[in-house]
Amino acid sequence: MTRRVQAVPKRFRWWEKRSPTNETTLKRVWFKAEFKRLEEEANRLSAELIKAQDKVGKRGI
């Protein structure tokens, strides 16, 4: 009787698991970059908000 090799999903091949270009690593890198970008945008917007509040004279912080 021959043993059937269990089917492995394509994205779980061993060489992909070991390589740094696998899906989870790519996602992690993307999320880090995205988070950094959003953080910078938030900082810029809050600076603009403070400037605008200073102009109006209603700085409620």
For every residue of 3-38, DSSP letters joined together read PPPPP--GGG-HHHHHSTTSHHHHHHHHHHHHHHHH
Q: Spell out the domain ranges in the chain.
A: 24-61
pLDDT in tens, 11-61: 555 555 565 566 777 788 888 999 999 999 999 999 999 898 888 887 655
CB 59 within 8 A of CB 50: yes
- The whole-number pLDDT of residue 2 equals 64
